[in-house]
Structure 1
């Protein structure tokens, strides 16, 4: 029988956890009794305020997820503070990005720098956290890695070329990592949202875009960050102990796998 930890037994690291979708992910895990490391890059005040939700079960740690040494130091600090290794990683950190279709680089303006920024932050960040987590996960015989994706590579209603390419590469990494890490009882999955109403990144989205998407979904509404966060809990829970390499789309039924 393979090891399986309940949510309230897990030490969860949420990257980009101080604000936006990350804040909702942190709150969801804390609500279920998990102990949570809130990674942040610039949002120290928001991260420390979030710690106050459950001071005995939360720790804010600054780290740039693209910096492998800083990520390793963050994992070491978490282990020292809580006396146990991180068991669960939620790769949510997003390089600076705004979901404003009018301001995005179109195909004539798109540069490798645009693409590389997303690859470094989205794929490179997830690789760094995964590598830093492996020793601890193997030590306890349990690991859960959940990557935050997007439905845009299935339905590019707005062609955010750089962002979508980075998330598509992250889905590929999700599947190959699941194959590699399965024997260690480490599952790797993705939860993909559509446009969420509302996060810092989607704050620039015009209301008419939200309304158009809402009208296109079976539920006739745009998914909220809290609803997305709740779905993410599934992959970390005991209910998903035999699920790996999967991509769950949480967008009110707009895209169907």
Structure 2
């Protein structure tokens, strides 16, 4: 999808986990479509670098440090956004713990690792949604896009905490769509699969990729650009009559 078809001029978009991978791609594409972008990430230096990249190209961006698992940090992020631009039009809950996880039987996942994954991947989404709700309600509109995963439906083994956290994202999306609909706020999720970024991963071996690609209708790996069209669509006015849905971006791995 050409972002020229999606005009986000003067709209404010918060992207958590925006400093690398898919989050960075979101930040650059929304900025290219005219949005004012908050690049929020635990890594403040990388967030600032992406924001500088946008401003150097003539766009508007803020690079902010945020720990989405911490309510005070999330509130500070949203406050900084409102102080700068006075509104929040789109929230993309992209931050997650994934690439650093080691596959293991669920009996071997200790409570600290379980809590880390749930705190970032599930509680972090909850906190961010809470933090933007008042500003969106005041304007009578808003788009919240939560990033889930194909593992919710495939039940991928040896990732029990990650699967559970991303399942919570889908359930929360449905609950918030119901609660926020009266305020004109759309809440949807995207469920990606097989997206390759510059972030290193060693959890999928070459032979596993062969099996994954064989199960897909489209026989190729995905890239960050494959996520952009779906996200721009759900953030735009073209999706105003869609809420509470989970959009699979997965090369036809699953059919609803």
| Contact persistence 1:213–1:221 (CA under 8 A) | no
User: How many residues align structurally?
Assistant: 248
**Residue 26 of structure 1 aligns with which residue?**
27
Which of 80, 83, 91 is residue 80 of structure 1 equivalent to? 83
* Cα deviation digits, residues 180-204 of structure 1 (max 9, x gap): 0000001110001012123426455
Q: 1:151 to 1:96 in 2, by over 3 A?
A: closer
Alpha-carbon spacing, 1:158–1:218, altered in 2? closer, same or farther (3 Å): same
TM-score for both structures, normalised by structure 1 = 0.89
Match of 2:13 in 1: 12
Matched with 1:147 is 146
Q: Is the 8 A contact 1:20 1:201 kept in 2?
A: no
For 1:225 and 1:187, the matched residues in 2 are separated by 23
CA distance in 1, matches of 2:111, 2:199: 25
In the other structure, the counterpart of 2:39 is 38
1:164 equivalent in structure 2: 163
Question: Residues 203 and 224 from structure 1, CA distance in 2 versus in 1: closer, same or farther, beyond 3 angstroms?
Answer: farther
Question: Contact 2:49–2:63 (CA<8 Å) still a contact in 1?
Answer: no
Q: Tell me the C-alpha RMSD between the 2 structures.
A: 1.9
> Is residue 98–residue 162 contact of structure 2 (8 Å, CA) maintained in 1?
no
- Runs of 5+ consecutive residues of structure 2 not aligned to the other structure: 1-5
SS at match of 1:150: coil
Residue segments in structure 1 that go unaligned for 5+ positions in a row: none
Tell me whether 1:58 sits opposite 2:61 in the alignment: yes
CA-to-aligned-CA distance 1:207-246 (integer Å, 9 cap, x gap): 3333332232111001112211221111111110010000
* Cα distance in structure 1, aligned partners of 2:214 and 2:11: 38
Deviation at 1:59, TM superposition (A): 0.7
SS of equivalent to 2:53:
coil
Q: Which has the higher contact order (CA 8 A, sep 6+)?
A: 1
Match of 2:107, SS state, is: coil
**Cα distance in 1, alignment partners of residues 240 and 201 from structure 2:** 32
Residue aligned with 1:243, SS: coil
1-structure distance, mates of 2:22, 2:203: 15
- Deviation larger for 52-61 or 14-23: 52-61
Could you tell me how far apart the structure 2 residues matched to 1:24 and 1:208 are? 28
Q: How does 1:1-257 map to 2 (within 5 A)?
A: 7-42=8-43, 44-55=44-55, 56-82=59-85, 84-95=86-97, 97-98=99-100, 103-200=102-199, 202=201, 204-257=203-256
- Shift of residue 248 of structure 1? 0.2
Contact 1:115 1:162 in 2 (8 A): yes
In the superposition, the TM-score normalised over structure 2's length comes to 0.90
Q: Contact 1:149/1:190 (CA < 8 Å) preserved in 2?
A: yes
CA contact (8 A) 1:79 1:85 kept: yes
Please tell me whether the aligned partners of residues 28 and 230 of structure 1 are also in contact (alpha carbons under 8 angstroms).
no
Check the 8 A contact 2:68/2:74 in 1, yes or no. yes
